[in-house]
Amino acid sequence: MFRIGPEILVFMIPIVAILGGVFLGALKILKGNSAGGRGESRAEETGLIQDIHHGLQKMEERIEALETILLDVERSRGKSDTE
């Protein structure tokens, strides 16, 4: 069974925090007071959210690659211990 170790938590905690921030930002935009009176246009906000989303997708790909590397190392250790 797969268990979550400290190595994975190091990556997961910031991701959860970032996703929470993006969710709160999106919620604020939907409520209509996202600019806070500064007059930012919706197009700029949409572009910013799209950039954040793209960055999060790239981060997710990197984390998946790191998890794969970590699991491969653990498997190779397990094989070398049994020999």
State pLDDT tens for residues 42-67: 788 888 889 999 999 999 999 999 99
What does the block give as tokens for 17? 């925090």
**Mean local confidence (pLDDT), 3-9:** 74
Has residue 34 got a pLDDT over 50? no
**Mean local confidence (pLDDT), 11-30:** 85
**Mean local confidence (pLDDT), 25-54:** 76
CB 58 within 8 A of CB 18: no
Angle subtended at Cα 11 by Cα 60 and Cα 76, rounded to the nearest 5 degrees: 90
Least confident of 2-6, 35-39, 69-73: 35-39
| Whether this model's pTM surpasses 0.85 | no
Going from the C-alpha of 34 to that of each of 1, 13, 25, 43, the distances in angstroms are 44, 26, 7, 12
CB 56 within 8 A of CB 18: yes
- What are the residue ranges spanned by the domains of the chain? 6-82
